[in-house]
Structure 1
Amino acid sequence: MVSGDDLSLEGKLERISACATAAPGDEFQRNLMHAYASCLTATEAAAAAIATLGAAGKVRAPILTRLGRIGQDGSNQEELDVLAQRICSLTRSDLPGRKTRSRAEALLSRLYPHLSQEVRSLVLERWRGSGTRDGRRRWLSALTADCDLFDLQAVLECWRETRDAGAAQVLAYSGEQDLLTEILPELVASRCKGWVVSRAALDARVVSEAVWTTIRKEWPATFAYLCAKTGRQLDEDEAIAIVLEAGRLDVSSRGLAIWAIGRLGMWRTLDKLGTMAPDILAADLARLGIVLED
């Protein structure tokens, strides 16, 4: 019997791979697979993560689980830093194929919370400078969750350069009143998601009438929601028009408009909408090419 100390990393990976192949139909082999992986030292697990970038997912899974446990332990940050730096140094020729490159970036994302601040900064620079949508997404996700390195100005610059929807969301949820007051017209002009616009509008110090007008035109349900949240009054005709327009633009947003009318205490308008329900349903079906027979 060969002891673990006498086995090469290749030999250990062969055992993990053999168990992984049998694991889907064999609980005992699955347990062995994870037990073998748990024997890997931090240095071995890091090397295994690189060596198996092109391996089947079922082989990589226990190794990634082991790396996660090592990261949570917190006592092997240096080894994880070395692994992250190694990944950052890999070139396209080192990572043949889109799948392998995607796995390398996913591994960096998994490692990110457990890295030193210096190496986290290096990884962020890599993603930010990648020029790819995936890199930007990973950069934004990691940066937003990083209390030490979070930089709202960098997010603002990213959004102004790319009009990235994720960056707009971060700005709306993390921006202070003065910043949101400044960029709200830009968010509206860029046709962001209605819920992003509403969040920014609620936290802005002031909303101009020009912005109100654009919101009313582009996002009628969002307009109604903002009226309900801020106490801006609607008359009955406009409230009904908003419900009808919201349904034509996006049926799923109609409920928000109706809720807002209720929140404004417009009982009579709700009653009137109730009597209009059959006609509204018929119009919805007609837009789908469905005609109800009498």
Structure 2
Amino acid sequence: MTGEVCSGPDGMVERISKIAVEGLCHPDAGSLLHAYIACLSIPDLCLAITKTLAAPSKLRLALRRRLLRLLGDGNLQHHDRQHLHDLIERSRAAGQDNPAVRPVVEALLSAAFEFLPPPQQQSIIEAWIDRGTRGAAARWLKAVTQVPALFDEKVVMAYFRSTDDERAAKRLASQASSAFLTEILSELADRCEEGWIVSRAAMRADAVAEAVWPIIRSKHPATYLYLCARLRRRISEADALELVMTCPNSIMNQTRGLAIWAVGQMGMIRVLDEVVARGEELHRRDVEEFQRFPG
């Protein structure tokens, strides 16, 4: 062996930085980087992450991946989890004091969130909600997916009403209670652009009120047909054909396929035959719609 062995976190971080930042001229530099990081104890790893919040991404991400791998294994002792708690609190403080590292801190909090103790999770998610930005919203919406106990359907709906952010609508469609979905379904149908969100919410709701069906039909014709097929709602062949012919099959909105699938599920052979017969008309509509898109 050559050279003096560096002990302590500073010495190890120096070695790791030499590879990740300065660049080590060695055929196995990548493997050596991760091997050196694996030698760090949990306290030293947490300290190294704290010290490198402003470092180049290659070093930061390598350290974070090691931390997440250890957390995912689930074998951390209580004192190691205390080091993780302290790392998160130090990082949050650093993000508040130094806006330059705040995005790095936010990414770390989001990546480690599901492994944190509940009180710390609650504190972080409240801070994200209070911040009120779309970036922060993306993080807390992801967090409530990972930790369903933190999901508050009323808070998410209030955010959706104020922003029309469909990420919130997706969470509601997937996680809100069936009774709450019944209550808000008309708003989702009216304000969402993506029909699958409406269909998921409708399928999970206790019921779809009669007043909601016309909204779905007007805003999301393919979704309307899909729900008629799934929920066995009666629809005439003439109405089904009209809706199929209304649905586009463009790059930006390919919903006609779903409408045709729904017609097939309802056994409407004559409607399918009519769709076949009107193929040229549908092709012409598709071409015209495509030509309307810029570029």
User: TM exceeds 0.5?
Assistant: yes
Work out whether 1:52 is the aligned partner of 2:52: yes
Q: Cα 1:222–1:114, aligned 2, differ >3 Å: closer, same or farther?
A: same
Q: Cα 1:56–1:212, aligned 2, differ >3 Å: closer, same or farther?
A: same
**Equivalent pair of 2:128/2:136 in contact (CA under 8 Å):** yes
**Equivalent pair of 2:169/2:192 in contact (CA under 8 Å):** no
Match of 2:43 in 1: 43
**Equivalent pair of 1:24/1:30 in contact (CA under 8 Å):** no
Deviates more, 1:129-138 or 1:17-26: 17-26
Give the secondary structure class of the aligned counterpart of 1:129: helix
Match of 1:211 in 2: 212
Residue 15 of structure 1, CA deviation? 1.5
Match of 1:174 in 2: 175
Match of 1:285 in 2: 287
Residue 178 of structure 1, CA deviation? 1.7
Equivalent of residue 80 in structure 1, options 78, 84, 95? 84
Residue 229 of structure 1, CA deviation? 0.7
Structure 1, unmatched stretches of 5+, are none
Give the secondary structure class of the aligned counterpart of 2:150: coil
Structure 1 segments of 4 or more deviating over 4 A? 21-27, 248-251
Give the secondary structure class of the aligned counterpart of 1:210: coil
User: Which residues in structure 2 correspond to 1:1-294 (within 5 Å)?
Assistant: 1-5=3-7, 7=8, 9=10, 11-20=11-20, 28-72=28-72, 73-75=75-77, 76-96=80-100, 100-247=101-248, 251-289=253-291
**Equivalent pair of 1:80/1:111 in contact (CA under 8 Å):** no
**Equivalent pair of 2:21/2:56 in contact (CA under 8 Å):** no
The one-letter code matched in structure 1 to 2:54 is G
CA distance in 2, matches of 1:148, 1:212: 32
The one-letter code matched in structure 2 to 1:2 is E
Percent identity, aligned pairs only, is: 35
**Equivalent pair of 1:88/1:126 in contact (CA under 8 Å):** no
CA distance in 1, matches of 2:193, 2:289: 25
Residue 46 of structure 1, CA deviation? 1.6
Residue 147 of structure 1, CA deviation? 4.2
The one-letter code matched in structure 2 to 1:210 is A
CA distance in 2, matches of 1:106, 1:159: 23
Structure 2, unmatched stretches of 5+, are none
Deviates more, 1:135-144 or 1:217-226: 135-144
CA distance in 2, matches of 1:216, 1:256: 14
C-alpha RMSD over aligned residues:
2.4
The one-letter code matched in structure 1 to 2:275 is L
CA distance in 2, matches of 1:210, 1:152: 22
CA distance in 2, matches of 1:164, 1:24: 45
Q: Cα 1:214–1:25, aligned 2, differ >3 Å: closer, same or farther?
A: farther
Deviates more, 1:173-182 or 1:74-83: 173-182
Residue 40 of structure 1, CA deviation? 1.4
**Equivalent pair of 2:244/2:260 in contact (CA under 8 Å):** yes
Once the two structures are superposed, residues 129-151 of structure 1 have per-residue CA deviations (whole angstroms, 9 ceiling, x without a partner) of 11211111111111222144333
Residue 13 of structure 1, CA deviation? 2.2
Q: TM-score, normalised by structure 2?
A: 0.87
Residue 205 of structure 1, CA deviation? 2.7
The one-letter code matched in structure 2 to 1:30 is G
The one-letter code matched in structure 2 to 1:215 is I
Deviates more, 1:32-41 or 1:20-29: 20-29
Give the secondary structure class of the aligned counterpart of 1:252: coil
Q: Cα 1:275–1:27, aligned 2, differ >3 Å: closer, same or farther?
A: farther
The one-letter code matched in structure 1 to 2:224 is F
